[in-house]
Amino acid sequence: MTLNKYIRTRLFASYRRCYVSFMYKILLKTTLITALVFVICTLITVPVKANTNAEFYTFLDKFWLTAKKEGIKRDIFVKAFTGLKIDAEVKKAQKNQPEFVTPVWSYIERAVSEKRLEFGQKEMIEKAEILQKIENKYGVEKQILLAIWGLESTFGRNKGKKDVIKSLATMAFRGKRTKYGRKQLIAALKIIQRGDISLEEFKGSWAGAMGHTQFIPVTYNHYAVDFTGDGKRDIWNSVSDALASTANYLKRSGWQTGKTWGYEVQLPANYNYFRSGRGIKKTIREWRRLGISRVNGRDFPRPNDVAELLLPAGANGPAFLALKNFRVLMRYNVSVSYVLAVGHLGDRLLGYGPFIRPWPKTDRKLKYVEQKELQRLLARKGYKIGKIDGKIGGATKKAIRGFQKNNGLPADGYPSYAVLEKLRQ
């Protein structure tokens, strides 16, 4: 090969490599551009998931109008919500449905545990002076205040660490309890505006209950007191303010000084259980005429007191005559199990013993889904039960009683597994 031919061959090869390299770069750029166009088109044509926090901020903008009407200042509102985001734990807690319904005996055993009794007896000694002052002013006995304190926060050991504003704003925004959340949120903003607590210290439970005795904001605004006289109603850090606030709430709700919450009682054989339950009120004298007596053999001290006969575990468990103070405690918490636990813990702190009649622990407690099934089956058989929600309220208990009476079972209105099995037949 001549030199000129060799040079031409090498030049051609060099040109070809350059051409291939050039075309490859063109092709690569075209591919990248095509991919970019595809991504852009996809973003345009495929719906984008809604930004929940953006919707939350829109809600807060609208909520300002409500807050303004309630007297909340703009700077307080802005300070409270700056940088605030939805609390995912609160959002989840609202959606949770209980798989099991806690039996009353399990609730009371946990509430009146040996540890809680130990803590309570210690506090009764250490806080004796302040407890006596509160009792003298409001007429609410010290053992009841201690029992509420013990159940609500284990004597201040578990007051809740959630941001109250954040929790209530999450509830107010969306979920099953928006009405509650918005009402409590306004009340919480008023607490901040008044200067009773700083935003940094404004802590509580996921549902907004606060301090030693777990007041919700609306209750706080109406009933909290400054017992120490330092200018603040500090239920978060001051045990005196918290217990006095609780006493004030109970007293203004109708607490009867010097009277108990109720008595454990013994029913006669073949008792007519239709004469039991919330709303059926008789004097102690009238209950005695029906054969009801105290389990310890002692007499009732005030025969004219009005009481209701409660069977929290049905005919197989303990029975109680609940007095006016029992109903007052239900204003604090509408759960019969809770009020029984408060009353019993208070009695135990005074040295009284446990309940006499044993709880029917061998009876299988219905699960939440089974309680809904029970309601559905009652409704199919023509009994009026109200909403099918798995919650055994007055209407469902009345329907159970009717079914029990028609099927030869003790008509105690208790949602037992035996009732459910009978309904399934």
Domain boundaries, the chain: 1-48, 57-252, 262-349, 368-424
Query: What is the pLDDT, as a whole number, of residue 35?
Result: 40
Backbone CA torsion sign across 211, 215, 221, 227: negative
pTM exceeds cut of 0.95: no
pLDDT over 80 at 36, yes or no:
no
Three-state secondary-structure class, residue 119: helix
Q: What is the mean pLDDT of residues 197-204?
A: 96
Q: Measure the CA–CA gap between 62 and 79, rounded to whole angstroms.
A: 16
- What confidence tens digit (pLDDT) does each residue in 275-297 have? 999 999 999 999 999 999 999 89
Task: Identify the CA nearest to 361 among candidates 31, 103, 157.
Answer: 103
pLDDT at 136 over 90: yes
pLDDT in tens, 172-192: 999 989 999 999 999 999 999
% residues pLDDT > 90 (the chain): 81
Q: What is the CATH number of domain 368-424?
A: 1.10.101
pLDDT at 52: 76
CB 149 within 8 A of CB 262: no
**Nearest-angstrom CA–CA distance, 241 and 172:** 28
The CATH code belonging to domain 262-349 is 1.10.530.10
